[in-house]
Amino acid sequence: MFEKIEIFDKRYSELNQRLYEPQVAANPDEYQKVMKEIKSIEEIVLTYREYKKAVTAQEESLEILNETSDAEMRELAQAELDEAKENIEKLSEELKILLLPQDPNDERNVIVEIRGGAGGEESALFSAVLFRMYSMYAEKKGYRTEIINVNETELGGYKEISFMIEGEGAYSRFKYESGVHRVQRVPETESQGRVHTSTTTVAVLPEAEDVELEIDPNDLKIDTFRSSGAGGQHINKTSSAIRITHIPTGTVVECQDERSQYKNKDKALKVLKSRLLKEKQDKQASEIAADRRSQVGTGDRSERIRTYNYPQGRLTDHRIGLTLYKLEDIVNGNLDEVIDALITADRAEKLKESMQ
């Protein structure tokens, strides 16, 4: 393990020196390339350097204990030795986790698709709650949200909404949201005050890059139609909405958020490529690890992952058994505690698999 990290340490020093070279400093693209590589190994290298400091502190403390009989000095050295041992153990575990293979999609933008499921209008209203929650969370993280397509109901819910979240590391934070989200609450349409259970499905796709997926234009059927919706800004008098069908797979994508037909087509193609890329990656992953499935999971749309219980103010993530009684805070975009717990559980599972 440490031989590999030594290589990273040496490379990190070389890259930092390169930043001062005139040909790098004067070339924005090259500068960004070097900075990206520095960032990719920086946490490993800095953690390793802290580890080496702890090892040095341990050696020095042992040396003092072996050479002195002064009671006060020995007591101080023993305390420093205990602290160094604790740090070595902690940093060693951190390094094992940092050396786990990284998800190549983690730094990408994401496309999120939310669809109403069981529960009719209440499901559509909860889709709007989830969209608001993700939009607020994205804003807190400094990400940008852009709607791609929306099918709104009369009461302000969403039968379906798809949107892009742009920002460094967006996929690493949102990828655990794929699956079925269940809500238990008294619907706005319920006159008797009874609690209903509804479901909404979320799919999170890493944005595909053009170089990764070539689509033959002859495989596409492109239709234009007039935008539709609950009224107001979603009604257009011109046929600017776009529907693209990928004939070989039967995948259909619609985009009607923009008034420009060209912009809608561009957005729809982005979604289509991302869906096809995700299907390709899921197929590869299932072939490679058919008998090893992470307990956390990041892709199965049919998996019930979470329950939002409004009467009790409770959120439960079923994959890791996490229960928090701060539902209002979470639906207002404070998702870090949930997502951090999922990341920790996912890393622990992968570490366990790597050791086996």
Residue 307 above 60 pLDDT? yes
pLDDT of residue 355: 64
pLDDT-based confidence at residue 47 (cuts at 50, 70, 90): very high
Check residues 251 and 191 and name the one with the higher pLDDT.
Answer: 251
pLDDT of residue 291: 38
**Distance (Å, whole) CA 80 – CA 86:** 10
Residue 60 above 90 pLDDT? yes
The pTM of the full predicted model, rounded to 2 decimals, is 0.67
Cβ(102)–Cβ(4) under 8 Å? no
- The residue written with tokens 């499901």 in the block is 123
Residue 241 above 80 pLDDT? yes
CA angle, residues 202, 123, 263, in degrees to nearest 5: 55
Residue 231 above 60 pLDDT? no
Q: What is the mean pLDDT of the chain?
A: 84
Mean of the pLDDT values across residues 152-169?
A: 90
Cβ(207)–Cβ(278) under 8 Å? no
Cβ(318)–Cβ(199) under 8 Å? no
DSSP run (H or E) holding 319 = none
Mean of the pLDDT values across residues 178-207?
A: 86
Residue 287 above 60 pLDDT? no
pLDDT-based confidence at residue 193 (cuts at 50, 70, 90): confident
- DSSP symbols for 266-307: HHHHHHHHHHHHHHHHHHHHHHHSTT---SS-S--TTSEEEE
**Distance (Å, whole) CA 47 – CA 50:** 5
Nearest to residue 213, comparing CAs of 140, 276, 171, 267? 276
Side-chain half-sphere CA neighbours of 259 within 13 A: 4
Phi, psi of 82 (to 5 degrees): -60, -40
Domains of the chain: 2-98 (1.20.58), 110-284+299-350 (3.30.70.1660)
pLDDT of residue 207: 84
pLDDT of residue 238: 53
pLDDT of residue 80: 94
pLDDT-based confidence at residue 342 (cuts at 50, 70, 90): very high
DSSP run (H or E) holding 245 = strand 241-246
Mean pLDDT lowest among 123-137, 249-263, 323-337? 249-263
pLDDT-based confidence at residue 353 (cuts at 50, 70, 90): confident
**Distance (Å, whole) CA 120 – CA 100:** 43
- The residue written with tokens 């951190």 in the block is 94
Check residues 197 and 349 and name the one with the higher pLDDT.
Answer: 197
pLDDT-based confidence at residue 279 (cuts at 50, 70, 90): confident
pLDDT of residue 292: 38
CB burial of 233-252 (b: ≥16 within 10 Å; e: otherwise) equals: eeebeeebbbbbbbeeeeee
DSSP-derived secondary structure letter, 208: P
C-alpha distances out from residue 191 to 55, 198, 272, 313, Å:
67, 17, 41, 21
Check residues 23 and 295 and name the one with the higher pLDDT.
Answer: 23
**Distance (Å, whole) CA 259 – CA 237:** 10
pLDDT of residue 180: 93
pLDDT of residue 14: 93
Q: Please state, for a pLDDT cut of 90, what percent of the chain lies above it.
A: 45
Mean of the pLDDT values across residues 166-182?
A: 92
Nearest to residue 128, comparing CAs of 107, 92, 157, 93? 157
**Distance (Å, whole) CA 145 – CA 164:** 6
- Would you put residue 193 in left (φ > 0), alpha (ψ -120 to 50) or beta? left
DSSP run (H or E) holding 243 = strand 241-246
Residue 235 above 50 pLDDT? no
